[in-house]
Structure 1
Amino acid sequence: MSQKKQDMRSALDILDGVNRITRVQGEVDPKFELPAVLAQSPNRSAVIFEKVKGYSVPVVGNLVDRENFALTCGIESSIEASLQYIDRGITNPIEPVMINNAPCREIVITEDIDVMKTIPVTTFFEKEAGPYIMSAIVVAKDPETSKRNVSMNRLLVLGPDRLMIGMSPSHHLYRLLEKAMQLGKTLEVSIAIGNHPAVLVAANAYVDLGFDEFEIAGGMFGEPLELSPGIAVDVEVPAGAEFVIEAEFIPGELHEEGLVSEFHGMYVDYGKSPILQVKGITHRKDPIFQIILPGRFHEHFIIGAMAIETTALRHIRTAVPRVKAAYITEGGMGRSHLVTSISDPRPGEGQKAIFAAFAHCNLIKHITVVDDDIKVDDPIDVEWAIGTRMRAERDIMIIPGVRTDRADPLVKEGTVSKVGIIALREPTALPKAEIPKEIIEKVKSEWKHYQVQVGDKYVDRSFSYIK
């Protein structure tokens, strides 16, 4: 592989260099114990488990949060920078390139396949059916056009060489499977585990079927994403992936999954899902297994949130060009609650922004529209706008019976009520009381002069209340 920094290891090297890796040196059991430790890790650094019971393979979790994403992608840590970075990938996609002798193919297993013996797959929650792979990107090709589709799907290990794959009937992969079945073909997939944060976010982008998410990753990197051809299937994966599972759908065979956790932190029962037959496993020498703690945990929220807010912003701008920013909140589980800001809004544009966002993504069900002097990712600032600019009798929209995703915790017959809040200032609004900007900037630039001390330590400046 070239020296391009497109893999998970390069991301970990960057985080290690800025002390954003926590190492767990005591042995942990991958069944319940490992996720229990990960859930209680003291900060949002990546966590590496060095000793996993029954395996010589270390495990990494908490790879992606907003700060880690910015560091590993070489951008500023701000909502504006991440929106621009991801949007660049969508607006300026770059076609991937194929390489031979990729790191993900250093070890090849095509006989005596046993997923659980090779990979320390984790069991997360007590009522789930078994161990799940939650960090994988699943790659498939359209059986007619051969265009790639990349997504993230949960994978339940059923046996040594059998996996159940969870996917909604509304998702692109499901549509490709239906098309293959109608054509009398078998749909192959490659499952890549252990990927760069940019690749994970690209895989979650809400784009049209046929838009190759690997091209989005290339656009984000500013160079082609390197892919490796398959060993047992005709489907490519990122060359730097840690593990690759190659498989095909078993026609007509389904598995009753039972209870499974969702992003809202509760169990759901989706019924039966398709089964994959594993045809081969490849991995790097001394591989690292990546997990994403599912349910109501921040990494699970953020990977989806960063992709949704970027594509939502693009869509809203088609209706309201002066929309400045969009932010999917963690309180809204990284899916359901959106805050968007507008520069110099005209009458009715708040409503248009709300309708455009609802039209873009079924999962979004609560939208707050603010002026561009409000930081969309600051909940205190957003609540201030609601408290000072929203008139409840006029500015709250409740829309019943809107189509939603099956994962919504309140879904009934495929629909849910949705809410829009318009918190835009009126022309006659009271002015903000502010310290003169030139004095603020002077103090910022000369902060050391003031020798601000807490206990026996001097502290860096913090103007959290100044917008």
Structure 2
Amino acid sequence: MSQDLRVFLEQLEKDGEIKHVTEEVKREYEISTLMMALEKEHRYPVMWFDKVEGSEFPVVTNILGSRERFAKAMGVKTENISQEFGERVKNRFDNLKVVENPPANANLITGNDVDLTKFPILKHFPIDAGPYITSGLCVAKDPETGSDTCGFHRLQLKGKNKLGISFHSRGRMWEYFRRSEERGENMKMAICIGVHPNISLGSQASVPYSLGKFGAIGGLFGEPLEVAQCATIDLQVPAYAEIVLEGEVLANVREPESPFAEYTNYACFRSTENVFQVNAIRYRENPIFHDITPAMSSEHITIISIQREGDILKTLNQNLPNIKAVHSPLSSCGIFHCYISMKKIAEGQPQQALLTVLGMDHHIKMAVVVDEDVDVFNEQEVLWAMATRLQASKGVMILPNCMGETLDPSSDELSRSDKMGIDATKPLSGFSPKIEIDKEAQEAVKRLYKYTK
């Protein structure tokens, strides 16, 4: 399987999933406004903008905008994407494959010639503090163990060679920087723009701190991740990245960064206020600048949802039998709610599932368990089960003042959040039967569909 984003985009082009905009668009607001309009229409094409004001490079967005696209990248059925993710990230390939002359070596800019403004870095919404790189995959190493990590962090354009960056507090990158700063050292870091969807998805994998992310990403490809050495720092990055920014996060330096339109669909003023100094830029010939529309867009959220579902399925299957499906819906920003369907064979099993899920992930604020006859990917069915199978005094548990998500605007000043577990399953016996459609009639009436069109 090719690990090159360009090969993947070529296939999407053949499949008719890419729409080209040939007229010039502005850097401010126009692209994100169009993408949010398509979002409301539940349309998720890859949009390719050939001409962006003030830049010679195109912008491509919504590459990660649907489950179908992630499934295509992994070569699996869409309905199996979360389970496949959870299984594949366990099948690590820690022996990386080194590519000696990666495509990004075609252009190298260093020193005073570094100029980020040549790239079409967009300002997405009026609330944003400035233009932001939203698809920057940040790569660094633990200064103590040497384990690699990579993840997406918002990057505010502050100057020709300077970006503001906010680390997800209490996350892996934040911890690696804390360890570097404690030693009085800047943290060497590279930022990759334009990588294969499997790399983007694999970067979200939950792995032990002692293990690197690159090995888990290889699991999604079913082979070692192909990497290349940076030109100016001792880091390896995905070999086929379109653009690579090399530099360091400055120790003991903080500057205002925010507000930013976060995935919660609210402006976020919280920030770790770190500063990334860009010392070198490498990029491919005719580089493709990938932009992710921020706020509550499918491209911003789907990747989170798939990762959460895969991790939750993996954990539940270790503790309980008969788990059927898990869904983290778009309506909960892909992160705050979780729906679980199971075949209940003993009373108390839903509560065990709820405690497992609420305890394994500090982001999840509400978990709902339903019976196997409820499709958790159809939110109307989940709400129906809650309406007809739930009595709050018996089926709801509330856990106050738990560790929560910093970007949740409803969390308190210490990022604490209440959690709620809901058992919306039927009792094992004595409950009204659900209305079923006759199977033979269901087949027979297919001949009548022509009259409904």
TM-score (norm 1): 0.90
- 2:190 and 2:141 map into 1 onto residues whose CA distance is 10
Distance 2:345 2:252 in 1: 53
1:33-44 equivalences in 2 (<5 Å): 33-41=30-38, 43-44=43-44
Aligned partners of 1:188 and 1:249 also within 8 Å: yes
- Give the whole-Å Cα distance in 2 for the aligned partners of 1:436 and 1:27: 56
Aligned pair count?
A: 446
Q: Does 1:94 align with 2:93?
A: yes
For residues 11-50 of structure 1, the aligned pairs below 5 Å read 11-41=8-38, 43-50=43-50
CA distance in 2, matches of 1:237, 1:58: 23
Residue in structure 1 matched with residue 287 of structure 2 by the alignment? 287
Give the C-alpha shift of residue 253 in structure 1: 0.9
Contact 1:259 1:269 in 2 (8 A): yes
Q: Distance in 2 between matches of 1:56 and 1:438?
A: 61
**1:299 is aligned to 2:296:** no
Q: CA deviation at 1:106?
A: 2.1
The answer on whether the counterparts of 1:135 and 1:290 sit within 8 Å (CA) in structure 2 is yes
Partner letter of residue 84 of structure 2?
Y
2:163·2:277 contact (CA, 8 Å) conserved in 1? yes
CA distances 1:433-464 after superposition (whole Å, capped 9, x unpaired): 32344665x569xx6x6672665xxxxxxxxx
Query: Which residue number in structure 2 is paired with residue 342 of structure 1?
Result: 342
The CA deviation string for residues 276-310 of structure 1, in whole angstroms up to 9 with x for no partner, is 11111111111110111111212111111111221
> TM-score by structure 2 length?
0.93
* Cross-structure match for 1:419: 420
Rate the CA distance shift 1:402–1:52 in 2: closer, same or farther, 3 A.
same
Match of 1:462 in 2: none
Q: Measured at CA, do residues 291 and 329 of structure 1 come closer, stay the same or move farther in structure 2, by a change above 3 Å?
A: same
Matches within 5 A, 1:54-453: 54-64=54-64, 65-78=66-79, 81-95=80-94, 96-412=96-412, 413-426=414-427, 427-437=429-439, 440=442, 452=450
Matched position secondary structure for 1:88:
helix
Note the C-alpha offset of 1:430. Answer: 2.4
Unpaired runs of 5+ in structure 2? none
Alpha-carbon offset, residue 67 of structure 1: 1.7
Over the matched positions of the two proteins, sequence identity in percent amounts to 29
Shift of 1:247: 1.1
One-letter code aligned to 2:67: R
Q: For 1:399, what is the secondary structure of its paired residue?
A: strand
Range with bigger deviation, 39-48 or 150-159: 39-48
Pick which of 267-276 and 42-51 moved more: 267-276
In the alignment, which residue of structure 2 is the partner of 1:461?
Answer: none
Counterparts of 1:185 and 1:17, CA distance in 2: 48
CA distance in 2, matches of 1:138, 1:322: 38
| Cα contact 1:113–1:281 (8 A) shared by 2 | no
Pair 1:5 & 2:2 matched? yes
**Separation (CA, whole Å) in 2 of partners of 1:373 and 1:262:** 35
What is residue 463 of structure 1 aligned with on the other side?
none
